[in-house]
């Protein structure tokens, strides 16, 4: 754990909160050519879901924010595993997708996902952290999670 990403995450007080694990028959990440696909990450802490329920109903705004932050943290630590395994020196965040288990009345999808986007820029800088993204409200997510976030990253030479 001595690559550039782990050093940056630890310098920002972002410690690993959960192991890289899959809840079904898929991999936590796939590398294809110069792309890294990180599977959807939930707000897991110590391999258990930290928050459950619908945003804007069972979860407070603060709990929803913590769910996004924790899911993003898990995504970044899974990316760290890729960097360790493949000895990568530079990564670009290309695309993020956020899925929010929320009520039909919830309207702040974009604002809530900004926490994830802002963290990417904080970790990778303006050039490598800037990305495209989509955020979608859904009626349910695995394990009653309020949030799921996945990402696509580019490997730069």
Give per-residue pLDDT as tens, 82-129. Answer: 999 999 999 999 999 999 999 999 999 999 999 999 999 999 999 999
pLDDT in tens, 58-82: 999 999 999 999 999 999 999 999 9
Helix (H) or strand (E) segment spanning residue 66: helix 61-86
For the chain, the residue count is 157
DSSP per residue, 50-65: S--S-BTTTB-HHHHH
């Amino acid at each position: 754990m001595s690559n550039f990403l782990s050093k940056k995450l630890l310098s920002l007080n972002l410690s690993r909160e959960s192991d890289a694990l899959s809840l079904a028959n898929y991999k936590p990440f796939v590398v294809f050519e110069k792309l890294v696909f990180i599977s959807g990450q939930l707000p897991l802490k110590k391999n258990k879901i930290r928050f459950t329920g619908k945003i804007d109903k069972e979860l407070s705004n603060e709990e929803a924010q913590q769910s996004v932050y924790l899911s993003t943290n898990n995504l970044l630590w899974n990316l760290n595993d890729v960097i360790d395994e493949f000895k990568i020196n530079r990564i670009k965040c290309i695309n993020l997708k956020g899925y929010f288990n929320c009520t039909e009345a919830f309207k702040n999808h974009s604002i809530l996902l900004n926490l994830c986007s802002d963290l990417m820029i904080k970790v990778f800088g303006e050039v490598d952290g800037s990305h495209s993204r989509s955020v979608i409200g859904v009626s349910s997510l695995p394990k009653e999670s309020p949030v799921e976030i996945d990402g696509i990253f580019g490997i730069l030479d």
